[in-house]
Structure 1
Amino acid sequence: MAPRPEYIVEHMEEDEPGAPAHFAPWALLEYRHMLYHVGEGTTVHFTSLSQASLQALEEAFSQPLPPLTRPAKFELHAQSVTSLARERGWALERICLLDPKAPLPLSVCDAGIHTSSARAAHDEAPFTHFLFGGILGDDPPRDRTSSLREQGFPGRHLGSVQMSTDTALGVTKRVVEDGLRLGLAELDGARGADAAADGTGALRFIDSPTLQFSRGESVELPYRYLAQDATTPLMAPGMRTIIYRDFDRAFEF
Structure 2
Amino acid sequence: MVFKYIVEHMEPELDEWSELEYANILQKVGQNRLYLTHVHPDLLARLPERIGPNSGIISTTKAVLELDEVDPAKVILLDPSATQPLEPSDGENFKWLLFGGILGDDPPQDRTKELRKLGFTTRHLGPVQMTTDTAVIVAKHVIEGKTPLDKLEYVDRPEIRLGKKETVELPFRYLVKEGKPQLPNGLLELLKKSNEISLV
Q: Which runs of 5+ in 1 are unaligned?
A: 16-21, 65-70, 113-125, 184-201
Q: Does 1:139 align with 2:137?
A: no
Match of 2:130 among 142, 163, 175: 163
Taking the aligned partners of 2:101 and 2:154, their CA distance within structure 1 comes to 21
**Percent of residue pairs bearing the same amino acid type:** 38
Q: How far apart in 1 are the matches of 2:58 and 2:53?
A: 15
Matched, 1:228 2:195: no
Structure 2's unaligned 5+ residue stretches are none
After TM superposition, the score normalised by the length of structure 2 is 0.93
Q: Distance between the aligned counterparts of 2:133 and 2:5, measured in 1?
A: 11
Q: Which has the higher helix share?
A: 2
Residue aligning to 2:33: 43
The 3-state SS of whatever aligns with 1:245 is helix
1:82 aligns with 2:65: yes
Deviation of 1:91 after TM superposition, in Å, equals: 2.2
Amino acid corresponding to residue 48 of structure 1 in structure 2: H
Structure 2 distance, partners of 1:204, 1:55, is: 38
The number of equivalent residue pairs is 200
Closer/same/farther in 2, CA of residues 56 and 164 from structure 1, 3 Å limit: farther
Q: Does 1:98 align with 2:73?
A: no
Structure 1 match to 2:189 = 241
Mapping for residues 60-71 of structure 1, pairs under 5 Å: 60-61=50-51
Classify 1:4/1:63 alpha carbon distance in 2 versus 1 (closer, same or farther; 3 Å).
Answer: closer
Change in CA separation of 1:93 and 1:62 when aligned onto 2, cut-off 3 Å: closer
Superposition deviation, residue 63 in structure 1:
10
Instruction: Work out the CA distance in 1 between the residues paired with 2:101 and 2:63.
Output: 12
SS for the counterpart of 1:161 is coil
Indicate conservation of the 8 Å contact 1:9/1:46, yes or no.
yes
Alpha-carbon RMSD: 1.8
Which residue number corresponds to residue 49 of structure 2?
59
Letter of the 1:213 partner, please give it: L
In the TM superposition, what whole-angstrom CA distance separates every residue of 1:192-244 from its partner, at most 9, and x where no partner exists? Answer: xxxxxxxxxx21101100011222210110000000222x1101111101011
Q: Which residues in structure 2 correspond to 1:13-28 (within 5 Å)?
A: 13=11, 15=12, 22-28=13-19
CA–CA distance in structure 2, aligned partners of residues 106 and 80 of structure 1: 23
Distance 1:229 1:111, change over 3 A: same
**How far is the alpha carbon of 1:142 from its aligned partner?**
1.2
